[in-house]
Structure 1
Amino acid sequence: MIRRSLIRRTPIHRTPIRRTLIAGVLGALLAVLPGTSPAPALAAADDCRPLAPGASPAAERAIAAACEEVAAGTWYAWGGGHGPAPGPTYGKVDPEDPASEHDPERLGFDCSGLVRHAYARATGEDILDGVASTQYYTHRTAERFTAGEGLAPLLPGDLLAWGTSDHLRHIAIYLGAGRMVEARRSGTRLTVSDVRLTGSYFGAVRVQTGPVPGPVVSTWGNGVWTKAAPALSAARVYAFPGPTPVRVRCQKHAERVTAEGYTNDVWSYLPDYRAWVTNIYLKGPARLDGVPACP
C-alpha cells in the first residue's frame, strides 16, 4: 500500500516541477531569439531605484542618494537644500503658496535642492548648485532632449524640467519606466511619481559628471538675456540671474552692440541654451581666445 501511494503521488508532485522547467527553458530561448525581449518587471508604486538599464555609475549613485531621502520620509521644504553646502536645510515660506507656512519648521529639500544633494553625493563635488533653471542649463551637459522626444531616449539619472525657457519652475530625477523621484510641493514628503508629460513639461538633460568638453567661460552682470539669433531684435531665450559659467561652441561677427560702455560685434553660441549672447557679457577679450568661428 505504501508503494502504491508513493507511485500515485509521484506524477502529481512532478507535474509542477516539469512545468517550471519547461517555462524556464522557453523563457531562456525567448531571451536569445532575435526580435524578442523579456517582459520588464513591474515596479511597485514606491519602488525607488533605477528602473531601466543604461544609467552611468554616477547617475545610479545620484538616484540612490535621492531614494535614501524618500525612504527616510524627508519633507519638501521650499528653499530647502540651498545652504552653503549640499544637504537638507530648513525651508522658507513661499509667498505664492499658503501650504508652505510650516516649511520653516521642516528640514528637507525643494526640487532643485534634492537634485543638488543627489549629484553632490554621487560625485563628491557640488556640481549642480542653483535653482531648476541653472541646473537644466548647466554647462555640465552630456545630452539634451526636447519635450517632443518624450521619454524614449532618456536614461535613469536624467533631469526632467517643467516651465518655460526663461522660467523653469520644477526639476526631478528620472528613474526609468515612466517614473521619477522628486520633491514636489509644500505639505508633502519626497516621493516617487509618474512622469507628467502634459502641461508645462519642457525637456530633459543628461548630466556630464566627468570633464566638460569645450571652452567654459563666465558671464558677468545681472539679467543678461540670451537670444535665438545673434541680434538684439531676436527672441529672448533665457536671462542669466547673475555671473554664470557657460560652455561656448563658437563665435561670429554679427550685429554691433553697445552696452556697459563697450561696443562689440562678436556673438557667441551657447549650445546648452541653444542661444546666442553678445561677447560684451562674457569675461575675456572682445573675441574669445581658443573659440572657433561659427560656420
Structure 2
Amino acid sequence: MHHTLARARRTFVAAGIVAACAIVPTAQLASATPHSTGNASRAAAATGGCDVLAPGASAAAEAAVRAACSQLGIWYTWGGGHGPQPGATYGQVDPTDPASNHDPERLGFDCSGLVRYAYARATGQDILAGTANSQYHSSRVTARFGAAQGTGPLLPGDLMAWGGANSIHHIAVYLGAGKMVEARQSGTHVMVSDVRLGGDYNGAVRIGASPGQTGDFSTWGTDVWTHTEPSTTSARVNKFAGPTRVKVGCQKHAQLVEADGYRNDAWSYLPDYKAWITNIYIQGPAWLDGVPTCA
C-alpha cells in the first residue's frame, strides 16, 4: 500500500526543542561583516593553536575550520550569528542564564551561528542556517558517527554535537588531534577546547558542499526503532525520538508491517546505523524513488 497521500500528515516539526546556543534572534539584530575580526583575530588564531590539526579532510572542510578559527576571541553571545547573512551579530538575553545579561551588547556567535559562518565562508553558500539540531540533521550531511566511535573516524571540519537524538543543543567544529573550536557559553569567547566525549555527547556528522546524496531521506513519527534485520521481531538497534535525516543504502521486500494506518512490506537499510527500518516511517512513497534494491 502506497502512503504518498499521507505525507502531509507525516510532516513533523519538533515543537519546543530549542537549543540554548542556537536561538534564531529577532529581526533587530545587527549583522556584522565577515572581516570584523581583522588581523588581531587571525593572530589570536595562530597563537591559540586553532587550525587544521590532522590530514584527510576535504578542501571545504579545511576552509571551514580556518574560517571558524578566524573568529577566535570573538564573544559568545546567545542567538549570535543568525542575522540575514552569516556573520557575528548582537545577541539576546537568555532568561535562564544570568551570564547572558550583557549579550545584547556583545557582537558574536552562539554555537550554531559560528558553524553557519564557517561553512558559509568555506562554500560560498549559506548551507547551514538554523539551529544546532537542524545542522546536525542537515541534508548536507554525508557521514554520521556515533558517540561510541569517539574521535577515531573524525576528520577536521566534522561537526561534534551534544544532546538527544532530535534535540541537539550544542555543536562544535572538530580540528583534529582531540581539539575543537566552539562558541560555548555566555561570558566566554570563541575558543579552542579539548573534545568532550562524556555527558550527552551524541556523535558527529560530516558536511558536504553539495546537497544530500542520492538516498538522503527523513524519517517521521516519534520513538521509531530500527532493527538488525528487516523484521520487527529482530533485535532493536536504535530509536529515533523524532524526525531524523537518514541515508538509505538500499531497500528490499521483507516482513509485512502494519503501523499507524499503513501496511507495507518494504524495508530500508541505513548504513550509518547498520540497521533496518520499515519504509512506513520514511517520508516518501511505499517503495522509495531512486533507491536500489538490496542484493
Give the TM-score of the pair, scaled to structure 1: 0.68
Question: How far is the alpha carbon of 1:184 from its aligned partner?
Answer: 0.4
Partner Cα distance (2:264, 2:95) in 1: 41
Question: How far is the alpha carbon of 1:125 from its aligned partner?
Answer: 1.7
Counterpart for residue 239 of structure 1: 242
Counterpart for residue 134 of structure 1: 134
Counterpart for residue 62 of structure 1: 64
Larger radius of gyration: 1
Could you tell me which runs of 5 or more consecutive residues in structure 1 were left unpaired when the two chains were aligned. 1-42
What number of residue pairs does the alignment pair up? 245
Note the alpha carbon deviations across 1:154-180, whole angstroms, 9 max, x for none: 222121122333433221111122221
The share of aligned pairs that are identical, in percent, is: 60
Q: Which moved more, 1:138-147 or 1:51-60?
A: 138-147
Of the candidates 206, 225, 228, which is equivalent to residue 226 of structure 2? 228
Question: How far is the alpha carbon of 1:284 from its aligned partner?
Answer: 3.5
SS at match of 2:181: strand
Q: Would the aligned equivalents of 1:257 and 1:278 in 2 still touch at CA under 8 Å?
A: no
1:136-285 equivalences under 5 Å are 136-210=136-210, 212-217=212-217, 224-229=222-227, 231=232, 236-240=239-243, 246-252=246-252, 253-254=254-255, 256-259=257-260, 263-272=263-272, 279-280=279-280, 282-285=282-285
Could you tell me which runs of 5 or more consecutive residues in structure 2 were left unpaired when the two chains were aligned. 1-44
Q: Relative to structure 1, is the Cα distance of residues 97 and 272 closer, same or farther in structure 2, using a 3 angstrom cutoff?
A: farther
Partner Cα distance (1:264, 1:250) in 2: 16
Q: Relative to structure 1, is the Cα distance of residues 278 and 151 closer, same or farther in structure 2, using a 3 angstrom cutoff?
A: closer
Counterpart for residue 21 of structure 1: none
Counterpart for residue 40 of structure 2: none
Question: How far is the alpha carbon of 1:97 from its aligned partner?
Answer: 2.4
Letter paired with 1:228: T
Question: How far is the alpha carbon of 1:67 from its aligned partner?
Answer: 1.5
Q: Relative to structure 1, is the Cα distance of residues 227 and 95 closer, same or farther in structure 2, using a 3 angstrom cutoff?
A: farther
Partner Cα distance (2:224, 2:211) in 1: 25
Counterpart for residue 42 of structure 2: none
Partner Cα distance (1:160, 1:211) in 2: 20
Q: Would the aligned equivalents of 1:78 and 1:100 in 2 still touch at CA under 8 Å?
A: yes
Cα RMSD (Å) of the superposition? 3.3
Q: Would the aligned equivalents of 2:224 and 2:281 in 1 still touch at CA under 8 Å?
A: no
Higher relative contact order (CA 8 A, sep 6+): 2
In terms of fraction of residues, the more helix-rich structure is 1
1:101-112 equivalences under 5 Å are 101-112=101-112
Give the TM-score of the pair, scaled to structure 2: 0.68
Letter paired with 2:241: Y
Counterpart for residue 116 of structure 2: 116
